[in-house]
C-alpha cells in the first residue's frame, strides 16, 4: 500500500465511523467547494464508465473531424 493509499484508508475509516447525519454534513461541505465537487463528479463518471471498451485517441480525433 502506498502512503497515499494508506492516508485515504485512514480518512475513509474515519468517515465511515461517523453517524449518518455527520456523514451527510461532511459531504455537503465537501460538495460546496467547486473544485472538489467537479473532482467528485469526474471520479464518479470515470468509475461508472470503467467497464466500457476504450477507443484509440486517433479514432476519437477522426470521429470528431468527420462530425464537423
* pLDDT given at position 33: 96
Sign of CA dihedral 29, 33, 37, 43: negative
* pLDDT given at position 64: 94
* pLDDT given at position 47: 96
* pLDDT given at position 38: 97
* pLDDT given at position 55: 92
Residue 63 has which C-alpha cell? 470521429
Domain residue extents for the chain: 3-67
Contact predicate 15/26, CB 8 Å: yes
Which residue stretches of the chain have pLDDT < 50? none
* pLDDT given at position 16: 98
* pLDDT given at position 43: 96
Helix, strand, coil percentages, rounded to 5, for the chain: 80, 0, 20
Amino acid at each position: 500500500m502506498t502512503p497515499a493509499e494508506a492516508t485515504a484508508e485512514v480518512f475513509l475509516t474515519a468517515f465511515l465511523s461517523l453517524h449518518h447525519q455527520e456523514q451527510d454534513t461532511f459531504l455537503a461541505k465537501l460538495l460546496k467547494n467547486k473544485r472538489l465537487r467537479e473532482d467528485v463528479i469526474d471520479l464518479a463518471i470515470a468509475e461508472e464508465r470503467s467497464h466500457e471498451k476504450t477507443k484509440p485517441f486517433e479514432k476519437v480525433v477522426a470521429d470528431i473531424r468527420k462530425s464537423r
